[in-house]
Structure 1
């Protein structure tokens, strides 16, 4: 029987990949007129559903700049401390983030919801501080995306390192692109 080694999680920026998007979407949605859409399945684009999602947005779409990318990286590391999972690899971009998480006994959907919540709170806190002190955008770190061939090795390595540690899981390992 196959064993889950880890999870590839994609987190898009607020308002950048809405239900009904022409690229398809994974959103669970309910509307009295349009009906229910099952979660965890790719759904085709639907301009009516996309328009409805845009109208329901409370804030403008969010793209991350250098300082916010740094906040995301720091928050991911902090979230992994004491967790039974680690970040084996991450690609933090202005419009979305790819995470390669090691296996967890926890419900992965709840883990991702918690991560999104922690990331959002950290970004809001940092944004308030930047506005108070008049900080301007600076270039942030560039995180490399693992290629498919090394994904399995990255998860295995992170899992082995966590198992070998007397303390249990350690800080996340994020591959940094030197370019």
Structure 2
């Protein structure tokens, strides 16, 4: 079945033999975990790469906007947006956890690919972040107090990195592991 990273889960590039139980999705905010990063990085599913300072510097120089770090109110808005989108689509959201530089979601979205689900989440979260920033009462209007966010959100074009981790969960143990990691492993 390909690389299985947590019991009952496989990377989305693998060909499933049966209907998945859920998807374990993770994506990072723009510029916060570049190829070459000191924590290491994933080139492709199952292909972990060691830190490479020169590569990280080269990638940082190619960025077209400053890195994006989510504030506490923005994190709450992202989680609410994901919950609302799951209700609208009638998907079962099992767990969500938005951190300052990444998001984890465990979701069952029958009939949708993990790529489509992640794209929808990113798109709606971007839309809501921009809408919230454009409201006069929103504290995030204009440049935020976080120096990493030096662009007003209404002008920012890039909130998320391309792609992300899309693990397919096939059994209850994999589901429990993903939920536990999402809620308690941060």
TM-score (norm 1): 0.60
Return the alpha-carbon distance in structure 2 between the equivalents of residues 19 and 75 of structure 1. Answer: 28
Who wins on radius of gyration, i.e. which is larger?
1
2:54 corresponding residue in structure 1: 48
Rounded to whole Å, the distance in 1 between the matches of 2:41 and 2:47 is: 6
Where relative contact order (Cα < 8 A, 6+ residues apart) is larger, the structure is 2
- Pick which of 42-51 and 92-101 moved more: 42-51
State yes or no: 1:89 paired with 2:87. no
Runs of 4 or more above 6 Å deviation: none
Q: Which of 62, 71, 91 matches 1:65?
A: 71
Q: Are the structure 2 counterparts of residues 22 and 59 from structure 1 closer, same or farther at C-alpha, using a change threshold of 3 Å?
A: same
Aligned pairs, how many?
134
Provide the aligned C-alpha RMSD in A. 3.2
CA distance change for structure 1 residues 49 and 121 in 2, over 3 Å: closer, same or farther? farther
Contiguous gaps of at least 5 residues in structure 2: 1-16, 145-171
Q: What is the match of residue 176 of structure 2?
A: 152
The Cα of 1:80 is off from its aligned counterpart by 1.0
Q: TM-score, normalised by structure 2?
A: 0.58
Q: Please state how far the C-alpha of 1:68 moved relative to its aligned partner.
A: 0.7
Task: Show structure 1 runs of 5+ residues with no match.
Answer: 28-38, 138-147, 156-174
Matches within 5 A, 1:30-179: 39-44=44-49, 45-83=51-89, 85-129=91-135, 132-133=136-137, 135=139, 151-152=175-176
Do the aligned residues in 2 keep the contact of 1:84 with 1:104 (CA within 8 Å)?
A: no
